[in-house]
Homo-oligomer: A and B are copies of this chain.
């Protein structure tokens, strides 16, 4: 078994060693650029942890782990165009630094590169691994589309929101783990349980994101606290507040959502005040906890020695306790 730190070192080293062709440079420089911006590398680490959990050969899981990280960054490159995002990890996005055409085409070739790395698994599991990868990729796209649809919709329910984040964020954690499990020769039942662990952890992870955006420590958060409130992002917190707010709070919240000219600090404070009165933080934390618990139950039911699970357990706890 490897420690989280060892696995992350393996990933960082492997990411740094990815070789990109020199030409055409407009196609490959943006990929190298985006990949160099860092990030937590959670998803590839999950592939390795899953292989390790079942006593598989971690070396064998490196290419598929890189495939998952490339796929994730491909979705970021394309999502950033669609969301018109100027920054990614504090640096100019690819469509800002180059242009939208470059970001579209570099993203496409990045996706192929992901497949090229993914097919380096053992022939006997290739078909199974690709089934998981394809299903995950489709769902991530569906999640992004539903998220964009939410932006122009009036009413979004909590159930719809949870389904959206399941698709957009959580299935990739589940998929990464399941692919690692297949490499580690897990049986179908254990692989599915690990998928459930990842899926629920992913939902909890996104809920944590929503909470941190409002209640994070500005010193540690790394982004502007209240960013979601400022741009009316339909997060778990806002949807729940819209569901629960009555009378004056409901009116005030509606007013802030319609405001186009405002002082951002004032808006964040006002909306946060409503959240506080409605106990939104606690409700969101309970929802997060529920999914974390489901994740841990799935992990517990996996049929391997309990001591092997300690790394994934520690990883889940680290994710839930994070401050950025």
Contact = CB atoms under 8 A, between A and B. Distances in A.
Interface in A90-126: 100-101, 104-105, 107-109, 111-113, 115-116, 119, 123, 126
A145 B26 contact: yes
Nearest to A116: B134
A24 B140 CA distance: 12
B149 A26 contact: yes
16 contacts: A27-B142, A78-B105, A101-B148, A104-B104, A105-B144, A105-B148, A108-B141, A109-B141, A112-B137, A115-B115, A115-B130, A119-B134, A123-B126, A126-B126, A126-B127, A130-B130
A100 B100 contact: yes
A107 to B, nearest CB: 8
B146 A134 contact: no
Given A104-B104, A126-B126, A127-B123, A27 B115 contact: no
Contacts of A112: 134, 137-138, 141
The copy count of this chain in the complex is 2
A81 interface: yes
B78 A109 contact: no
Nearest to A129: B119
A269 interface: no
A26 B145 CA distance: 7
A82 interface: yes
A200 B149 CA distance: 45
A131 interface: yes
Contacts of A109: 137-138, 141-142
Contact of A145 (B24, B82, B113, B141): B24
Given A111-B111, A112-B137, A142 B104 contact: no
B113 A24 contact: no
B127 A119 contact: yes
Contacts of A130: 115, 119, 130
A82 B111 contact: no
A83 B112 CA distance: 21
A110 to B, nearest CB: 10
A73 to B, nearest CB: 13
B134 A115 contact: yes
Contacts of A105: 78, 82, 141, 144-145, 148
Contacts of A142: 24, 27, 109
A106 to B, nearest CB: 8
A250 B271 CA distance: 69
Most buried by B among A107, A141, A142: A141
A131 B119 contact: yes
Nearest to A136: B112
Contacts of A82: 100-101, 104-105
B27 A141 contact: yes
Contacts of A148: 26, 101, 105
Interface string A131-164: 1001001100110111011000000000000000
In the A-B complex, list the 6 residue pairs whose CB atoms are closest, starting with the nearest.
Answer: A82-B101, A109-B141, A24-B145, A112-B137, A27-B145, A116-B134
